[in-house]
Amino acid sequence: SDDLVWYMRNKHSGIVAVPEAFPHQPEDEFRRYATHLLGFVENADNVERDLHSALAGSLKRGPAIQGLALTALARRSDPDILEECFRLAYSREADKAVRRSAAVALGGLLKPGDTDDIRRLARMIRDRRNDSVQQHFAIMSLGQIGGKEAIDALVDLARQRVFGAAQDRGFVYLALGLCGAKSRTARELLMTEFRKVGSPDERASLAMALGLMRHRDAVPQTIKYLEKSNLASGRKYLAYGSLALGLHADPRGAKAVRKVFSTYSDVVVRRNSALGLILIEKDAAVPELMRVLKASGNNATRFAIVAAFADLHKPSDKIIDALERVYQDDSIGNEVRARAIAALGVLVDPRPIPVSAQ
């Protein structure tokens, strides 16, 4: 903790190893990493004091550091920070980066049953003076909190169509997907919207939300939309419809996901469809993906497959072995091999790393 506090407080351009190792890295990036990681340090009396100092601006490090100090204190469940989060979130004087961080922090501080405070958070979402990113973060915080009060607030946002843009509504759907699996009202609302919505982007958000819920009734409709999609008009649905079928882990989706993987070379579509296949077929999909990786001369395709392996929460020994074979293979591009090495570091030793690095 002492080292991290030092990095948060000081400039680092005088350390010879830093410019050599990270020639592209701005000095403030180290301060941001250190501030973020302090949220994970346990049993250190000085950490809260220094984070409060950073939040107060006494270190003169700017709004990015203040915002990260706020979320770090929330991660440490600091009870003194709740009212400060609300004050900053509603403040017209606070920088927008700090207001956004306050919206994120509230998702970690509030719990189901905190009725009054959840209502305050919901009012923040409806306040059109807040920028859209702050509103999106506040919506996802409701999804993180969960419980009846948060679900009711999200259902109201969806039913009243508070937001006109498909992207904004997509965040509401995703938040419901995170917390509404046991709510009949939330499941029925999402299924109704999924059947009638015409926008491919909105369909993608709904497919993901229903996948997060593991709502198996949505599988046939997800497959139907996927089979009708194409890269020109439905790139987002190709990517996230494939991943949604993976979240369902339903064998009915394997054929459609495999077709997307074999048809489109777009890196995001390839990564998500590869990941969908792994989630549906588990280790049985690995040999096929490795054959494609080896045979392809396209680094984007190789990168997409490695990224799919890396995105797994609990990789099997077979996937760890596959990543090891990738980084040991001199015939594969260095960028792809580096991604495999980074993936192994996170998967085998899953310590917290900065969000920007993820």
Residue pair 318/286 in contact by the 8 Å Cβ criterion? yes
Residue 307, CA atoms < 13 Å, CB-side half-sphere: 15
Above pLDDT 90, what percent of the chain? Answer: 47
Q: Which of 235, 225, 295 is nearest to 267 (CA)?
A: 235
Q: Which of 232, 313, 242 is nearest to 277 (CA)?
A: 242
Question: Which letter does DSSP use for residue 94 in this model?
Answer: S
pLDDT at 354 over 50: no
Q: Which of 58, 98, 64, 72 is nearest to 1 (CA)?
A: 72
pLDDT confidence of residue 334: 87
Residue pair 207/219 in contact by the 8 Å Cβ criterion? no
Ranges 145-149, 198-202, 353-357: which has the least confidence: 353-357
Answer whether 0.75 is exceeded by the pTM. yes
pLDDT at 352 over 80: no
pLDDT confidence of residue 281: 94
- Which pLDDT band, with edges at 50, 70 and 90, does 27 fall under? low
Angle between helices 147-159 and 115-126 (to 10 degrees): 20
Q: Which of 112, 167, 178 is nearest to 140 (CA)?
A: 178
Highest mean pLDDT among 151-165, 252-266, 318-332, 334-348: 252-266
Residues in the chain: 358
Q: Which of 65, 48, 47, 56 is nearest to 10 (CA)?
A: 65
